[in-house]
Structure 1
């Protein structure tokens, strides 16, 4: 995962929120978990941001639940402080004396009190009606501290995301569209799945007869890796190829090897294929692709995207154990570095099968450019 650039003042922090979340929040309370840069008291780095409903919404977490969530996620992300960004078009900038809405005040007070009681710090709060160029921002408890926002698209985090081809969406619903089902493609793939499954069953039976059942898994992993390596960002694999991949991923050993691919030089290609499969497969096969998609997002610390993919996986297969476990990881803000245990297990499984999955670190200089014509 790429380390986020440091944030030095409230305006920089606020305009970085859309890039942190992957979408521009509205009527939200965003908790930002920060660390102080070594040797610099004013510069903060941001390992994590989480969005909850605005305190002005009827259906929201209670003040106590928000405070507990902040403390738990602060510990999980090894952060030293929590900052709050209130985004709600119904806000008005307070005058002197302070007249902050009691519903905001109670949440912020609960955060301050609870974090202090467990040895953590509440670093402050800032309010905006909307996160946009020239929008006003202010400190809800000190109206003398205020200003206008720079262009969110030019924040260092947003620029970094753009450089690696990761878009920032206008709303969460727009972000969630990346897992929307392509009905026409799904119907084409679904029609091919029975024959693909029958062919796979014949291959498995042959390997059992020759006393080498691992040969089936080895061949399936090899075929999936060939598809990943041959993938071009400018085209969608043929429906037959997608059906073959879906059947291969029904073998949990094959699926587990793919966790190792997420930490290697083919990670971008694989993730784009899991996205296509999530959109193209019928239930319950869709769950395997969506689970892998969620894992890639978790590995980068993108909790919102991971949460959307987990929801898609569990909708396709409510009993999917790995999707459930990844959902727990999202809810409890498991740090990305802890998710690398699954990567290592996948790499070891591939090595046991004698299959090269390109197991370099995901931020390695050898990571592929999908649009490189010389690849």
Structure 2
């Protein structure tokens, strides 16, 4: 399993191996285990954080194939090189860190793409006191600091970024709040006409439904009722409404974008397939635009599971897996709302919310 995180995560010190390893949970959204993390250094100077990708450590027979699949993704944006971080395994005294063969395969694959490996690091686990070392220098190594005490952690906390203890814990955010409620809504939606509103007022009526949902969310009114959930599902199927919702993803991390992401996540938890695909695709796009490729990928997987032929989710999934940076999809949001409905009554920067996206 592979996850790509484009630029947008909290900054990390690429020159300090121990600090960089300890910061990995904040760069990919969760604490990695048995993983390789590839960290791109942005051109022109190489000091900035570029594309960050995590993949499961492969079996020995799959090393070369996985290396050849990962390396080309760093050529789609300007990078000066890549740092490799391997998490997992036990180092024997007097021996190089484990998985050295895979690191060599990655170095060869990246070299074929014109990208040098600037540093190759290993740690047994991401926790305070865990041993770490370097593949190229036997004398390089030590113990990791507390990941929560790094500069990256402080910046992440300030911006509302959460690092989960595992990938499964992060993925659990997308599970239904109440399977019984979701089943009930699935039955209601099968009996619902194609549009519950007259054609002449369809867009304005659907916009009113979304606006009311944001108002309930700001009042902390709790999850939607069955009737509200059904109307929201139908509203997101209106192309003009979906486009206006896309536009709410920018500027990323602004309060309005956070409120939008909260609502899309709620609807993923509250709607049945295939209807939840619209909300999941919006959630994936919003997470992608703020630089959280890991959660974006999970949301898009959720959308495609609910509706395999969902066009927007399929497009975003392809973009994400090719390692493209968010700015290449900025125009999708900027051109998405010709009707001027974006925001549904929410101001751009002064929405009050205590819940991070």
TM-score (norm 1): 0.82
Q: Does 1:78 align with 2:98?
A: no
Judged with a 3 Å threshold, the aligned counterparts in structure 2 of structure 1 residues 120 and 316 are, in CA distance, closer, same or farther, namely: same
Offset from partner CA, 1:46-104 (integer Å, 9 cap, x none): 2332111124x46x85324324422x22222422211111111x321552xx5455xx2
Q: Which of structures 1 and 2 has the bigger CA Rg?
A: 1
Q: Given the alignment, which residue of 336, 358, 373 partners 2:326?
A: 336
Tell me the residue number matched to 1:120. 115
Q: Does 1:185 align with 2:158?
A: no
- Equivalent runs, 1:94-133 vs 2, <5 Å: 95=94, 98-101=95-98, 104-133=99-128
Contact 1:48 1:301 in 2 (8 A): no
Q: Given the alignment, which residue of 236, 239, 242 partners 2:229?
A: 242
- Equivalent runs, 1:38-77 vs 2, <5 Å: 38=45, 44-55=47-58, 57=59, 61-70=62-71, 72-77=72-77
Contact 1:293 1:309 in 2 (8 A): yes
Take 1:52 and 1:120, find their aligned partners in 2: how far apart are those partners?
19
Take 1:64 and 1:194, find their aligned partners in 2: how far apart are those partners?
45
Contact 2:211 2:345 in 1 (8 A): no
Give the aligned length: 343
Secondary structure, in 3 states, of the residue corresponding to 2:132?
A: strand
Judged with a 3 Å threshold, the aligned counterparts in structure 2 of structure 1 residues 235 and 163 are, in CA distance, closer, same or farther, namely: farther
Q: Does 1:30 align with 2:37?
A: yes
How far has the Cα of 1:358 moved from its partner? 7.3
Judged with a 3 Å threshold, the aligned counterparts in structure 2 of structure 1 residues 85 and 341 are, in CA distance, closer, same or farther, namely: same
Q: RMSD of the TM alignment (CA)?
A: 2.8
Q: Does 1:292 align with 2:282?
A: yes
Tell me the residue number matched to 2:3. none
Structure 1 segments unaligned to the other structure (5+ residues): 208-214
How far has the Cα of 1:29 moved from its partner? 1.0
Take 2:311 and 2:8, find their aligned partners in 1: how far apart are those partners?
29
Contact 1:21 1:304 in 2 (8 A): yes
Tell me the residue number matched to 1:257. 244
Contact 1:125 1:139 in 2 (8 A): yes
Contact 1:261 1:347 in 2 (8 A): no
Judged with a 3 Å threshold, the aligned counterparts in structure 2 of structure 1 residues 272 and 129 are, in CA distance, closer, same or farther, namely: same
Take 2:36 and 2:300, find their aligned partners in 1: how far apart are those partners?
22
Offset from partner CA, 1:263-303 (integer Å, 9 cap, x none): 15521111111111101111110111111111111112212
How far has the Cα of 1:218 moved from its partner? 3.2
How far has the Cα of 1:157 moved from its partner? 2.6
How far has the Cα of 1:134 moved from its partner? 1.3
Judged with a 3 Å threshold, the aligned counterparts in structure 2 of structure 1 residues 342 and 254 are, in CA distance, closer, same or farther, namely: same
How far has the Cα of 1:319 moved from its partner? 1.4
Structure 2 segments unaligned to the other structure (5+ residues): 1-6
Take 1:69 and 1:78, find their aligned partners in 2: how far apart are those partners?
16
Q: Given the alignment, which residue of 198, 207, 210 partners 1:224?
A: 210
Secondary structure, in 3 states, of the residue corresponding to 2:218?
A: coil
How far has the Cα of 1:235 moved from its partner? 4.0
Tell me the residue number matched to 1:370. 353
